[in-house]
Structures are given as structure tokens and as C-alpha cells.
Amino acid sequence: MNFRKTAILAAATSVLALGAASADTIKFAFIDPLSGPFGPSGEAAYTSYQLAAEHINENGGVNGDMIEIMGYDNKVNPKESLVQFQKAIDDGARYIVQGNGSSVAAALIEAVNKHNKRNPGDEVLFFNYAAVTPAFTNELCSFWHFRFDAHADMKMAAITDWIAERDDIKSVYLIGQDYVFGQAVASAAEGQLSEKRPDIEIVGNELHPLGKVKDFTPYIQKIISSGADAVITGNWGADMQLLMKAAAESGSEVPYLTFYGGSKGAVASLGEDGIGLLHQVSEGITNLEASDEQYALIEEYKERFPDYDYYYHRVWNVMDMFKKAAEEAGTNDPIPVAKALEGLSIEHAYGTATMRAEDHQIQQPLYISVVSDDVKYGVDNIDLGWELVDAGTISMDAAEQPTTCEMERPE
């Protein structure tokens, strides 16, 4: 009896060992909310990663290896994220992707730094596709962290450039989520507005708790009674959608300049009221001129995941840049890949993206778009979609911001 058990065990172990030795998958751990109020934000990105990985795998993978995206639900909680991070490491992940929540990203950067210091030879890289607190590529910058989204100061630069040209905007209201990212957005807005348009008055600077407010009507009424000519917000996920819902109900008629107006449901909440009012700044929108391949991709995504829209264009940038870097390095190991990523450029559907070597911050053109009813692709399964505003293209140089990063690099 005992002998048989041992034999089975031995057989099982040898199979496991075989599996480990042939190691032909590159494991990406996707650590983001997959349930709760921010679940849709995470899910939309997760599905994007899956599709991007599938396409790469169908075309022969990266250096012959296949990419596997493993999802870990962190509920936008930094503590939970660290647990999931450990789980991901135990599951063999060498690449971590995360984006929803700068509080989470901050915890992950620290965890990755620590892990890599303690486990030489087993390093992991952190690809941040959406957590945009500027500090991550400034004072907190790390060799192990790469950011594939324009950070808050860059997006704010795009927004304030646009406001600077609009003489009819005399006062601005700031509203945001009360955590490191919302605070960064508010201070960026204050700083840049006072520089570009000192005559503009900031009539309100409101921070509300992250994901806790159900009814934004009192906030909207405060905005209306402040008489602001425009609102700037960094809200995302449910906070964006509910803010827009309350704005539509209260008949608020000022432009909303947002980072994440593309959050699922925000456009549908505003409906027709949003036309010409809801703006967003992003690295690409589906209604820009693009190649037929890009149109095919947008349509394939919609067909596969009808609940969501092609929104996370930067996810494809992450995967394409990873593939290019790994193939240049000739290996899928994190350190050579990281070194190859530094200074790497790719041509993507909406322009050129370059990974700046000194702080690992992507540099790319940005686009300001507005809700319109005359578009090729709608969002939220209605006919409204995003259309580029006049002079809404911000070149890579105009969006670029200086960095204070002093990076320590491994040998």
C-alpha cells in the first residue's frame, strides 16, 4: 500500500518537475479589482490583456514562449494586493501588471523592490498601465517599475493647455477622490492653472472618499452654486459614472474635463446631455483615423466582450513593447527585458510611444476628446462616442514633463 502511494507521489513529482523545466509560458500576474464597485474597470483591462496575449501567442509568442495572463482580484485594497502579489510570485509570475489605484501601485512598487532585493535571480517587473500619481516616476522611481500611461501632470498639462485657449472659462471647480491620486490631480491643476492662466479663479477644491459616495447630487449642487465655468476631475470607475449621473439629473451645463470620462457607464449616464460637455484626455480613442487592422481589433474586442468597449489601448502598447523588448534582448528574463525597454520606441495605432530611460515613464501624444453623437464607434452600447476636439492633439513634446528621478540600476 505504502509503496504504491510513494510511487504515485514520485510519478506526480516528476511530472511537476518536467513541467517546470520545459517552462514555455511567460506568466503575467494581473492584480486589479475584478469585483466590487471598481470591478468593471479591472475587468475591461483584464479582457484587453487576454486578447492582446492571444494575438501574440497566435503569431508565435515571444521568443517562442507563450504568454499567460493570470487574474488576481485585489479589490483595490493595498493590503489585499500584497497578499495577491505573494500568491502571484508563488504561481511563478515574473511580470506584474496593475493600474487601478495609485494607493495599490505604491504598495506594489515597494513590494517588488523588496522582493527583487531579497531574491536575486528571481526578479519580477511591474508594468503599471494606469496608476498615474507622478511620484512613481519621480521621487519614488524604481528600475523595476515601468509606466505605460501618461501621468497626472502630463494629462493635466493637456487639459490646462486646452483651458488656456478658452477665454470664456474664468473659473474652475476641482473635484476628486480623496487619496494620493486625487490629491495629485488637484495640486497639478492648481499649479498649472496659476502658471498658464493666472486670471482663472479656482472656486472649489473638493475631495470625496474613494468609492463610497452613492449620491453626488449635493456635490453637483455645490458646483452649480459656485458658478464655475468648467470642472476638472480625475474620478474613475463608479465615482466617475455616479458623478455624471448626478450632473445629468441636476442639469449641470459646464464642460467636465476628465482623465477617465471613458470609465464604463459615464457616457451612458449623461446621455444626450453629455454631448459637447464631457471631455477626456487619453492616449487614443477609437474614432481617430486608424489602420484597418486597428478597426478590426476594435470590432473583435467588442464582439468578444460585448459588455465593454475598446478603451485600454495602452494595454496593447504594454504587450507590444514587452514583445519587442524581449525579442531585442533575445530572452524573456526580466532584467534584460527591462534594459531593452529603456528608450524603446514603438509605432502604435495612434502615434509613437517611447519609454523614457531615465524614469521609465512612457512618452506619447495625447488626445482630448468630447462626447458626440456623430461617431463611428459608440460606447456603453449606445450611439454616443468620443470625438477629437479642435486642436485636441497634444504632441509628445508638449505633453512631456521633467523628472526628478535618480534611478538605481542593477549591475
Residue numbers at the binding site for another protein (CB under 8 A): 34-37, 39-40, 43, 178, 206-209, 212-215, 217-222, 224-225, 238, 241-242, 245, 249-252, 264-265, 268, 307-308, 380-381
Nearest to 200 by CA among 161, 163, 253: 163
- Report helix angle 39-58 to 292-304, nearest 10: 120
Would you say 55 or 222 has its CB closer to another protein?
Answer: 222
- Minimum CB distance to another protein, residue 184 (Å): 16
Nearest to 205 by CA among 177, 170, 163: 177
- Distance in Å from the first CA to the final CA of the chain: 53
- Minimum CB distance to another protein, residue 218 (Å): 4
Would you say 221 or 404 has its CB closer to another protein?
Answer: 221
Would you say 46 or 148 has its CB closer to another protein?
Answer: 46
Would you say 146 or 179 has its CB closer to another protein?
Answer: 179
What does DSSP assign to residue 333? Answer: -
Distance, in Å, from the CA atom of 69 to the CA atom of 373, rounded to the nearest integer, reads: 36
Residue ranges of E strands in 277-325: 278-282
- Minimum CB distance to another protein, residue 139 (Å): 21
- Minimum CB distance to another protein, residue 250 (Å): 5
Is the CB of residue 151 less than 8 Å from the CB of residue 364? no
- Minimum CB distance to another protein, residue 303 (Å): 16
Would you say 26 or 230 has its CB closer to another protein?
Answer: 230
Would you say 14 or 221 has its CB closer to another protein?
Answer: 221
- Minimum CB distance to another protein, residue 147 (Å): 26
- Minimum CB distance to another protein, residue 251 (Å): 4
Would you say 199 or 307 has its CB closer to another protein?
Answer: 307
Task: Give the DSSP H/E element, type plus range, for residue 231.
Answer: strand 230-233
- Minimum CB distance to another protein, residue 12 (Å): 33
- Minimum CB distance to another protein, residue 256 (Å): 15
Contacts with 237 (C-beta within 8 Å, 6 or more apart), sequence order? 37, 38, 40, 41, 100, 211, 260, 263
- Minimum CB distance to another protein, residue 369 (Å): 22
Query: In one letter, which amino acid is 394?
Result: I
Distance, in Å, from the CA atom of 28 to the CA atom of 49, rounded to the nearest integer, reads: 9
Is the CB of residue 326 less than 8 Å from the CB of residue 316? no
Distance, in Å, from the CA atom of 103 to the CA atom of 101, rounded to the nearest integer, reads: 5
Q: Which three cell numbers stand for residue 96?
A: 506584474
Is the CB of residue 85 less than 8 Å from the CB of residue 93? no
Would you say 161 or 206 has its CB closer to another protein?
Answer: 206
Is the CB of residue 138 less than 8 Å from the CB of residue 113? no
Would you say 27 or 245 has its CB closer to another protein?
Answer: 245
Is the CB of residue 147 less than 8 Å from the CB of residue 407? no
Would you say 92 or 265 has its CB closer to another protein?
Answer: 265
Q: Which three cell numbers stand for residue 143?
A: 528600475
Instruction: Name the 3-class secondary structure at 95.
Output: strand
Q: How far is CA 225 from CA 166, 194, 217, 219, 252, in A?
A: 22, 23, 12, 10, 10
